[in-house]
Amino acid sequence: MSDITSREEEMVEEISRLQGERPYLDNLFRSFGPILLQRQRWLQKRLKPGKTFQVDPVKYTAGIALVQQCQGFLDDDRWQDAGLAAAGAIGRGLPDLAMDMDYLANRIRGGLDCQAMCLAAAESSEVDVNQRAAEIGIKEVSFVVFLRSVERMILGLRAMEMAEELAKLNWQKGYCPVCGSFPHLAVIREKGQRWLQCPKCSHEWKFPRMTCPYCEHEDPENTGFLFVEGKKEEMAYTCDKCRKYLITIDQSGNLRHISADLLAISLAHLDIVVQEQGLEPMVQCEWNTYQNQQ
Ligand SMILES: [Zn+2]
Ligand SMILES: [Zn+2]
């Protein structure tokens, strides 16, 4: 009990509620639930209060994200620990990858440098990443899911550390002010404000409701909303200019704070419908691409 934070408990309850409500997405919740819970636990434990970076307000307002201004990854980010936590959770959620994750965890315990491995991969092409997976001795998909998970943990730390500082500054772009990723979800809150959600660091930021976060055009003629029958709060914003879409959920009036990752997973059926129409997500993440690879 002492090991479990109340935020994590809330997530456990939320996952089981959503699983019951949306049995057709059971597979996704089973796969990614353990990974999200592990990340939550790791972030709660690892947060060192008071650690902040100097942000240049002029550069920031001009759209230069935090990780482009300062170092996004630090030596003391406890990479080995993050690697072991990620490998364990992926193995539990995705049984097909479990053997690779056991093997990788053993290599990490044996001294494989997680920080060097992840940073090198972040700067490598897909081909190089695939080659590195082969050198380590695991499947490409295992390595990619692992790298993404560790990256999400470390960037999640940055976002938590910087949230207060960034809230005072003005950000006008459709990509994340912390890590530069495009959003995977938009949440509509009080007064109709649209909050974009980052799939990597979990930062959220306000953005004009009718502007496309990807190509920034705001012509209503080329903008659409796609709904599933009977669910008026759940929709996909679509842009005819760049042919991207953004899953959107109206949470105005809902006082419960549900994790954006869980909301995004709970709307993954919409991803399929929109992708069948030839549109692409603004960013690829496990829950809007993995299901298509099954
Ligand atoms: Zn981000
Ligand atoms: Zn667009």
Which numbered ligand comes closest to the C-alpha of 280?
2
Please report, for the chain, the start and end positions of each structural domain, with discontinuous segments joined by +: 6-167, 185-293
Parallel, antiparallel, or unpaired for β 194-197 and 185-188? antiparallel
pTM of the predicted protein model? 0.92
**238 Cα–ligand 2 center, Å:** 8
**220 Cα–ligand 1 center, Å:** 27
Q: What is the pLDDT of residues 65-116, one digit of tens each?
A: 988 887 777 777 789 999 999 999 999 999 999 999 999 999 999 999 999 9
Which numbered ligand comes closest to the C-alpha of 159?
1
**185 Cα–ligand 2 center, Å:** 15
Which numbered ligand comes closest to the C-alpha of 246?
2
Which numbered ligand comes closest to the C-alpha of 200?
1
Residue whose C-alpha is closest to residue 88's, from 76, 77, 101, 100: 101
* pLDDT value for 143: 96
Which numbered ligand comes closest to the C-alpha of 158?
1
Q: Enter the DSSP assignment of 209.
A: T
Identity of the residue numbered 33: G
**214 Cα–ligand 2 center, Å:** 5
**Separation between Cα atoms, residue 137 and residue 103, nearest integer Å:** 8
**197 Cα–ligand 1 center, Å:** 8
The residues facing 205 across adjacent strands are: 196
Which numbered ligand comes closest to the C-alpha of 151?
1
Q: What is the pLDDT of residues 227-237, one digit of tens each?
A: 888 888 999 99
Integer distance in angstroms from the first to the last C-alpha of the chain?
35
Planar angle of CA 262, 279, 176, nearest 5 degrees: 50
Number of H helices, E strands in the chain: 12, 7
What is 185-293's CATH number? 3.90.1670.10
Identity of the residue numbered 65: A
Q: What is the pLDDT of residues 18-53, one digit of tens each?
A: 999 999 999 999 999 999 999 999 998 876 665 667
Q: Residue 4: pLDDT above 70?
A: no
Which numbered ligand comes closest to the C-alpha of 171?
1
**276 Cα–ligand 2 center, Å:** 18
169: which 2 tokens?
């500054």
Q: Enter the DSSP assignment of 182.
A: P
Mean pLDDT for all residues in the chain: 90
**217 Cα–ligand 2 center, Å:** 6
**Separation between Cα atoms, residue 121 and residue 115, nearest integer Å:** 10
**148 Cα–ligand 1 center, Å:** 13
Determine whether 230 is exposed, middle or buried from the number of CB atoms within 10 Å of its CB (0-12, 13-18, 19+): exposed
Q: What is the pLDDT of residues 162-208, one digit of tens each?
A: 888 888 898 999 999 999 999 999 999 999 999 999 999 999 999 99
**274 Cα–ligand 2 center, Å:** 15
The percentage of the chain sitting over the pLDDT mark of 70, rounded to a whole number, equals: 94
